[in-house]
Amino acid sequence: MTKEQQTQIAAATRLVEGGRRPEWTTGIVNPPVWRASTILFDDVAALRAAAAAPNDGLYYGRRGTPTQWALADALTELEPGAAGTMLYPSGVAAIAGALLSVLKPGDELLVADTVYDPTRAFCRSVLAPLGITTRYYDPTIGAGIAGLFGERTRALFLESPGSLSFEVQDVPAMCAAARARGIVTLLDNTWATPLLFPAIAHGTDLTILACTKYIVGHSDVMMGSVTATPDHFEALRRTAQLYGNCVSPDDAYLASRGLRTLGVRLRQHQEGGLAVARWLADQPQVARVLHPALPGCPGHEYWVRDFNGASGLFTFILDGGGEAARTSLIDGLAHFGIGFSWGGYESLALPIDPVRSVNPWRAEGPAVRLHIGLEDADDLIADLAAGLCRFEQARG
Ligand SMILES: Cc1ncc(COP(=O)(O)O)c(C=O)c1O
């Protein structure tokens, strides 16, 4: 599809049609699961031709089959202006693959203080020993990020909204400032997905998804993706290939199937999430709700300006109380699972204690992150109402 055609067709349609090339679907609706390590060639000449063009057509299992290509293609089509997408065995592997494709020893990386904690661990434990330094910045800095750029700054990592505390960043202004200085921008766009925030159209060079969450949508597959502009895709692909990153065709099939219903699922996550968040904001035991779509969330104005909607993940802060009171709230919930990850069809509750280095975390009480799944919002609210009573009793 040409760039013009891609932007003219609505995202909902691209979501359904993306990646379903006739040569990959062979007459059926979904690209089938093509499992392969060895690919057989008719003769040595065909083998040599494939080796000369390993990014085009079947070559070897690590480079994928139509099952993985269809998923990558569909993700690319959701990002107008993108050249291509690479798939990774997890979201963390995607973050690592993206960073390693742009950084070299001696470079400096600027990272939002609200970044997903394992991204911070990767910078500390992998990038630092390679001679790549990381400096954290206040996620609400906006265009002021230009004041932090130094001689060695090579890349700017954003995550919007930020993990656990949900600050929305001024992505267009920050990416424009970086581009003016030749600095590469990377965004963890897992919360919004390209449906709610097409990142490349907003100026990002590389956009990262933990597909484990909303793309797969059913809590049964680990996967990550990075989608890049033409200027950055070749380095991204080469780095992914050098590190041997690949995903199984079975997992790619499940992710493609999840992707087709992303639009309707996100609408439901948004509706349920906002109903629960607004109800929580009115409860006396709750000090604050951190949800990008609610006024009062830092950067809410950028969410209004730039996003097509909200997903189902947010945090609320309890008014006073300690660990035991928070635990009594969470442990007794009937409709919320207690576990890591999010983006599946089921609701989850997680006790959270954010780690920050620029602005130390301060809150009125302990915090709980909720993922609102596809259940009836009134059932979830009744469950939380009982939980807040338990919290109040335990708080004393
Ligand atoms: C914002 C964000 N990015 C990346 C990841 C990592 O994804 P994965 O668990 O697939 O490695 C997560 C996981 O929770 C996440 O919340």
Express each pLDDT in 198-222 by its tens digit.
999 999 999 999 999 999 999 999 9
Active site residue 213: yes
| Active-site residue identified among 62, 104, 124, 181 | 62
Q: Smallest Cα–Cα separation from 129: which of 105, 156, 161, 93?
A: 105
Query: Mean pLDDT, to the nearest integer, of 296-317?
Result: 98
| Active-site residue identified among 14, 213, 356, 395 | 213
224-271 confidence digits (pLDDT tens):
999 999 999 999 999 999 999 999 999 999 999 999 999 999 999 999
Band of the pLDDT at 53, cuts 50, 70, 90? confident
What's residue 229's pLDDT?
Answer: 98
Is 90 close to ligand 1, i.e. is its CB under 6 Å away?
yes
DSSP-derived secondary structure letter, 162: P
Query: Mean pLDDT, to the nearest integer, of 47-56?
Result: 89
Provide the percentage of residues in the chain whose pLDDT is more than 70. Answer: 98
Measured in angstroms, how far is the CA atom of residue 312 from the centroid of ligand 1? 15
Query: Cis omega (within 30 of 0) on the bond before 161?
Result: yes
Q: Smallest Cα–Cα separation from 58: which of 311, 269, 249?
A: 249
What's residue 2's pLDDT?
Answer: 52
Ligand 1 atom 10: residue of nearest CA: 91
170-183 confidence digits (pLDDT tens):
999 999 999 999 99
What's residue 293's pLDDT?
Answer: 98
Active site residue 188: yes
Is 224 close to ligand 1, i.e. is its CB under 6 Å away?
yes
Is 270 close to ligand 1, i.e. is its CB under 6 Å away?
no
Determine the residue of 159, 212, 313 to mutate for testing ligand 1's pocket, defined as the one with the most ligand atoms within 8 A of the Cβ atom: 212
The Cα 282–Cα 286 span in angstroms is 8
In sequence order, which residues have a C-beta less than 8 Å from that of residue 281 and are 6 or more positions away? Answer: 288, 289, 294, 316
Helices (H), the chain: 3-8, 11-17, 22-25, 44-52, 66-77, 91-102, 117-122, 171-180, 193-196, 230-242, 249-260, 262-281, 300-306, 323-331, 377-395
Band of the pLDDT at 5, cuts 50, 70, 90? low
Domains contained in the chain, CATH given:
3-260 (3.40.640.10), 262-395 (3.90.1150.10)
Query: Mean pLDDT, to the nearest integer, of 38-63?
Result: 93
What's residue 56's pLDDT?
Answer: 83
Q: Which atom of ligand 1 is nearest to the CA of 191?
A: 1
The Cα 214–Cα 275 span in angstroms is 19
Measured in angstroms, how far is the CA atom of residue 85 from the centroid of ligand 1? 17
Active site residue 379: no
**Does residue 55 surpass a pLDDT of 90?**
no
Q: Which atom of ligand 1 is nearest to the CA of 224?
A: 10
